[in-house]
């Protein structure tokens, strides 16, 4: 489970750092004020982003949000409408693809069907002044790296999807590019292979230290692999940050909703760090909201803490609960999802709205939570997030 109980730095301080989208040292790849339109349709809107050397960055967002478009602009395959791109201290904004420095892996792999695996990998090495022996040695080394040494003489069609994927990767890194671009490299594979390859790609990237951008619409993939995630929606960057930042402190409702699950309630801001949900007040950080503001309050199912059947049974916690955020709720539905129980609760204090909460197997056993029972749960003060309504 992904929820650590420690108290995080306040969201706002992180947001400010992420706003700049820069890492401490001067970035290896820098995108400034980049726009891309197709006719009247704006696919990318004022994108600014910095990526440090050796970083593994994921572009994450729903399908059609412009991830591929941004990647292709970086690659010089689809020129941006305006905006500048710097790579390694060089302005590459209008360079043709062949003059930039990157390797790319497409979702389809785009392996040359009539060339053997070896010939595919060697394609970018030949014609570059290397001797035949050097090329052969490099190909052997790369095959070794991706663990497919036995398959060098085969044709792509004779390999499985996962193997083809690794060949495409080997071909892309053959010329030791400064930047590795991966466009949904795992989406065509089945779930098992996908998880396995995640680790392999990540390990390879660490080993080579190559700056990498991976496009994906799979949040789990992004959370598991990326050093930093760029969450995109409708052609704009919603948030940039590390996986934990993105997950625990989503800067917008969209990010909160897209990454992980959420309960959402209409809420009105009260004075003194409180909000009104349903007809009762809850404590939560209200920085930046005026009293009376209409907001959406968000809490993740995993963040809800069960306190068992008896009132005020707040033992075993290393931290006192805010009494105001404790509510009684009736368990309506319990669904066993393997690693945890997903429950649907209704609480009078929330105006009888359904509250989805995920409880560990352990907690359910210990607190004897069962369908039809009434339990007390806590919505932790700092895990109740507010967003302006209607966005």
Partner 1 sequence: MSIAIDYAPPARRLRQQASRDDLVKLGFMAVIGLYLIVALGAPLFVMLSKSLSTYRFDLSAFEFQVSDETGANWATAVTADALNKELGVVAKKDLATNSDGRLAVTKFFPQFNFRSPVHYRIRGVTDDAAFLVGSTLEKGTAWREYDSAAFRRVVLRPASSLGIENFKTYFSTPALARSIYNSVLMASISTVVTVSIAFALAYALTRSCMPLKGLFRGILTIPILVPSLLPGIALVYLFGNQGVFRDWLMGYSIYGPIGIVIGSVFFTLPHAFLIILTALSVADARHYEAAASLRASKWRTFTTVTVPGARYGLVSAAFVVFTLVITDFGLPKVIGGQYGMLAVDIYKQVIGQQNFEMGAVVSVILLVPAVLAFAVDRRMQKRQVALLSARAVPYAPKRNVRMDGFCFAFACLVSLFILGMIAMCQIAALVKFWPYDLTLTTKNFAFDLMDGGGWAAYANSIKLALLTAFFGSVIVFAGAYMVEKADGFRFGRSVFHFLAMMPMAVPGMVLGLAYIFFFNNPANPLNSIYGTMTILVVCTVTHFYTVAHLTALTALKQMDPEFESVGASLKQPFHRLFFRVTLPVCLPAILNIGIYLFVNAMTTVSAVVFLYAADTKLASVAVLNMDDAGDIAPAAAMGMMIFYTNVVAKLIHAVVSRGLLARTQAWR
Q: Binding residues for ligand ADP, per CB under 6 A? A: 38, 41, 43, 61, 63-69
Smallest gap from residue 48 Cβ to partner 1 (A) = 10
Using an 8 Å Cβ cutoff, are 87 and 28 in contact? yes
Q: Is 68 in the site for Mg ion (CB under 5 A)?
A: yes
In the bound state with ligand ADP, the residue whose beta carbon lies nearer, of 230 and 369, is 230
Question: Site for partner 1 (CB under 8 A): how many residues?
Answer: 51
Q: Is 38 in the site for partner 1 (CB under 8 A)?
A: no
Rg (CA), the chain: 25
Q: Is 172 in the site for partner 1 (CB under 8 A)?
A: yes
Structure tokens at 340: 């945890």
In the bound state with Mg ion, the residue whose beta carbon lies nearer, of 77 and 334, is 77
In the bound state with partner 1, the residue whose beta carbon lies nearer, of 231 and 356, is 231
Phi, psi (deg, nearest 5) at residue 151: -110, 10
The binding track of 302-341 with respect to partner 1, each residue x by CB under 8 A or -, is ----------------------------------------
Q: How far apart are CA 316 and CA 5, in angstroms?
A: 13
Q: Is 296 in the site for partner 1 (CB under 8 A)?
A: no
Using an 8 Å Cβ cutoff, are 252 and 258 in contact? no
Q: Taking phi first (over 0 means left), then psi (-120 to 50 degrees means alpha), and beta for anything else, what does residue 13 get? A: alpha
Smallest gap from residue 10 Cβ to ligand ADP (A) = 31
Angle at 54 between CA 186 and CA 33, to 5 degrees: 85
CB-closest chain residue to ligand ADP = 68
Per CB under 8 A, the list member of 53, 130, 202, 234 interacting with partner 1 is 234
| Residue whose entry in the numeric block shows the structure tokens 């693809």 | 97
Q: Is 286 in the site for Mg ion (CB under 5 A)?
A: no
In the bound state with ligand ADP, the residue whose beta carbon lies nearer, of 69 and 165, is 69
Using an 8 Å Cβ cutoff, are 289 and 269 in contact? yes
Query: In angstroms, how far is CA 201 from the centroid of its own chain?
Result: 16
Q: How far apart are CA 187 and CA 284, in angstroms?
A: 39
Q: Taking phi first (over 0 means left), then psi (-120 to 50 degrees means alpha), and beta for anything else, what does residue 94 get? A: alpha
Q: How far apart are CA 139 and CA 167, in angstroms?
A: 11
Q: Is 233 in the site for partner 1 (CB under 8 A)?
A: yes
Residue numbers at the binding site for partner 1 (CB under 8 A): 35, 37, 42, 45-46, 75-77, 79-82, 93-100, 102-104, 106, 108, 110, 112-115, 123-124, 127-128, 155-158, 171-172, 174-175, 177, 233-234, 236, 238, 251-252, 254, 391
């Amino acid at each position: 489970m992904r929820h650590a109980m420690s108290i995080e730095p306040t969201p706002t301080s992180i947001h400010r750092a992420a706003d700049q989208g820069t890492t401490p040292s001067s970035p290896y790849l820098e995108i400034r004020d980049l726009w891309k339109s197709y006719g009247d349709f704006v696919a990318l809107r004022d994108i600014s982003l910095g990526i440090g050397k050796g970083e593994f960055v994921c572009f994450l967002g729903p399908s059609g949000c412009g991830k591929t478009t941004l990647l292709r602009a970086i690659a010089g395959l689809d020129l941006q409408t305006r905006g500048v791109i710097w790579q390694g201290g060089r302005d590459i904004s209008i360079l043709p693809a062949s003059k930039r420095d990157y390797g790319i892996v497409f979702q389809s792999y785009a392996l040359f069907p009539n060339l053997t695996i070896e010939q595919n990998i060697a394609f970018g090495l030949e014609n570059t002044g290397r001797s035949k022996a050097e090329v052969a040695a490099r190909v052997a080394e790369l095959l070794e790296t991706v663990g497919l040494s036995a398959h060098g003489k085969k044709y792509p069609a004779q390999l499985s999807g996962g193997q083809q994927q690794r060949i495409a990767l080997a071909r892309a890194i053959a010329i030791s590019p400064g930047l590795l671009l991966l466009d949904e490299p795992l989406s065509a594979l089945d779930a098992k292979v996908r998880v396995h390859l995640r680790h392999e790609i990540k390990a390879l990237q660490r080993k080579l230290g190559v700056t990498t951008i991976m496009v994906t619409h799979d949040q789990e993939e992004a959370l598991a692999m990326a050093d930093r995630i760029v969450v995109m929606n409708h052609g704009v960057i919603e948030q940039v940050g590390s996986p934990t930042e993105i997950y625990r402190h989503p800067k917008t409702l969209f990010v909160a909703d897209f990454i992980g699950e959420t309960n959402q309630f209409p809420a009105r801001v009260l004075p003194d760090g409180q909000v009104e949900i349903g007809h009762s007040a809850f404590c939560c950080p209200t920085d930046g909201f005026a009293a009376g503001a209409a907001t959406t309050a968000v809490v993740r199912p995993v963040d809800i803490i069960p306190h068992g059947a008896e009132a005020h049974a707040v033992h075993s916690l290393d931290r006192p609960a805010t009494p105001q955020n404790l509510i009684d709720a009736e368990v309506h539905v319990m669904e066993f999802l393997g690693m945890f129980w997903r429950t649907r609760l209704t609480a009078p204090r929330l105006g009888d709205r359904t509250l989805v909460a995920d409880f560990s197997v352990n907690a359910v056993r210990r607190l004897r939570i069962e369908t039809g029972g009434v339990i007390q749960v806590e919505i932790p003060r700092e895990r109740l997030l507010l967003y302006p309504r209607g966005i």
